[in-house]
Amino acid sequence: MAEIITVANQKGGVSKTATCRYIADICVTQGKKVLLIDFDPQASLTKGFQLDPKLFEGVNQANICNIFSQEIVQAVNVADEDSDDVLHLIPSNRELGIVGQGNIIGKDLMLRKFIKKNKLAEVYDIIIIDNNPKFDTMTINTILASNIIVIPVITTKDEQEGLHGFFQNTEETLSTFDHEIKKMVIIPSRYNKATKVHKVYLKIIQEDALDYIETSCPTISESEVFVSKAVPEKVAFQDASSYDMSVYEFLKEYGPKSSMKKEKREKLLSLLEEIVKNIIK
């Protein structure tokens, strides 16, 4: 059975999409069959594969909104040409933000039902879901469909405090729907060790997050919760996204052309591999 990972945080700009991409690429490199689901109406994951979200609006086999009517949804093959890799994407579009507002019975459980009905956990080894920067029906759907929650977070005061809100909402969702998760992984992202605030708040998050969950979130604390190593803020992330690639793919293919020295590149690659290993292990 596949691991189903939702990458969520109600804050924006914490590199949710980039995280989805490198988890996917690392898993594909290991020969795993991966399905990406873009569950964000802003469709940044979809755009990252050079797909125009407008193509999927309206009455369309590949419209993700079909999930809410339990109709068929097409996936797009986004693996490299001429490779044996299995990397499929269910693209998103603007309409996803509207359909979730509708009055549909059991609308919080639609994604879970869709995955179950189509036995996607049997077809794929890993399913990764990207979220919008909110905590709404869409987020609840992805949490209730997953067994692993990955939370990228930026190490500043605001973000650290915002994390509490996210924990509370997640706790409420899990307890209301009596849903168990296996793991919750907090990934400090876009970390700059030269910035004092980052250094201080990395430490606070490392201690406080677990503390907070232990004391205030009984359902979450039944699962394995940990803070991973911090992912540094590197120009390579921006470079990769301008090439419509994951940072992992970019460093592997275009590494020598990037501004990073070989040693640093390899360090970053193995750091990402380690983080992913800890998520999926």
Partner 1 sequence: MAKKKELARANSLKNKGVGIPVITHKELLDQKELIQKISISDITEPKVHDRKSYSKEDISSLAKNIKATKMLLQPIVVRKVDDKYERIIGFRRIKAVQELGWKEIPAIILKDISDEEAMLIMLSENIQRENLNVYDQTVGIMEYIGLAFDMSFDEVKKLLYHFRNVDSKTIASDPEKSEAQRERMESITQKLGNISVASLINRLKVFSLKEIILEALKEGKVSYTAATELNKIADDQKIKKFIGALASGQCSIKDIKSFLKEQKKQSTPAHKAIKYKLEKRDDGVSLSINDNLSDSQLKKLEKFLAQL
Contact residues for partner 1 (CB under 8 A)? 50-51, 54-62, 72-79, 81-86, 88, 90, 95, 98, 118-120, 122-123
Q: Give the integer Cα–Cα distance in Å for 214 and 281.
A: 23
Q: Which is nearer to partner 1, 114 or 167 (CB)?
A: 114
Smallest gap from Cβ 281 to partner 1, in A, equals 25
Smallest gap from Cβ 41 to partner 1, in A, equals 12
Tokens 């803020």 appear where?
233
Q: Which is nearer to partner 1, 68 or 166 (CB)?
A: 68
Distance of alpha carbon 145 from the chain centroid: 13
Q: Give the integer Cα–Cα distance in Å for 164 and 216.
A: 10
Q: The tokens of 2 are what? A: 């596949």
Q: Which is nearer to partner 1, 73 or 205 (CB)?
A: 73
* Contact partners, residue 66, CB within 8 Å, separation at least 6: 72, 73
> Which residues make beta-bridge pairs with 89?
36, 76
Smallest gap from Cβ 170 to partner 1, in A, equals 27
Q: Which is nearer to partner 1, 78 or 268 (CB)?
A: 78
Distance of alpha carbon 117 from the chain centroid: 22
Smallest gap from Cβ 102 to partner 1, in A, equals 8
DSSP code of 148?
A: E
> Which residues make beta-bridge pairs with 224?
183
List phi, psi (to 5°) of 132: -85, 160
Smallest gap from Cβ 40 to partner 1, in A, equals 18
Q: Which is nearer to partner 1, 74 or 206 (CB)?
A: 74
Q: Give the integer Cα–Cα distance in Å for 178 and 143.
A: 12
Closest CA to 234 of 191, 174, 278, 175: 191
Q: Which is nearer to partner 1, 57 or 136 (CB)?
A: 57
Smallest gap from Cβ 19 to partner 1, in A, equals 23
